[in-house]
Amino acid sequence: MIVIPAIDLHDGKVVRLKQGRFDMVKEYSNDPVSVAMEFNEAGAMRIHIVDLDASLKGRSVNTAVIESICRSVSSEIEVGGGVRGKDDAARLLDMGVDFIILGTVIVKDPDLAAEIISAYPSRIGLGIDAKDGKVAVSGWTEETTYGVKDVLKMYEGLSPAFVVYTDIKRDGMLTGPNIEATSSLVSYTDLPVVASGGISTMQDLKLLSEIDGLMGAITGKAIYEGLLDIREAISRFSNN
């Protein structure tokens, strides 16, 4: 299991939301590139970036920041948020992003999502964000009737690179990850699964690492609040 530090971007700054709510935002840094470089120096194999502005508004104000991060670190960079078409995907990949995570489009326009996955084999992940088992889209502002497994069934045979599963209720809350739901998802799909939401301690990471086959775990707020030493976490878990 690899430990993946997260950078959420809003107006060019590093922030964290609680349960995806933009009225519950806390700023941690106005220098995202330096934050990414710190993660890189700590040994991060991959850094998870969420473009919150693009996710909510469908357009990014963080493109230059993301490009600077790609130029400044050797860690792999995955970006999610606001990728609504092939042009969006191409632009990110051209600037040096290694992996793209599709969210809203995988539910609202499965044909387009399938086209993007087919156009960039091994570069596209599925971002499945769920609240009480139901998938939410559009920056988590819109809840759908789809379950997590319903969405996965849509993409059987297309071979996306991985799945990022986020429990919205736990995201930014530091209440611990949803071990049961994550374990169930790993057992259900052959795709590599990355868990996100709620991680606050080394014990949380230990519990996740015990899920056989789990690819990775994303953590953000715990790092910024000083609850988790990212260098220690990477050293302890990313080689296991």
Q: Which residues are catalytic?
A: 8, 129
The token duo for 114 is 């399938």
CB of 97 within 8 A of CB of 78? yes
Identity of the amino acid at 96: G
SS3 30: coil
CB of 67 within 8 A of CB of 95? yes
SS3 74: coil
Distance of CA 82 to the CA centre of its chain: 13
CB of 151 within 8 A of CB of 113? no
CB burial of 2-18 (b: ≥16 within 10 Å; e: otherwise) equals bbbbbbbbbeebbbbbe
CB of 178 within 8 A of CB of 207? no
Per-residue HEC secondary structure of 100-119 comes to EEECHHHHHCHHHHHHHHHH
Identity of the amino acid at 172: G
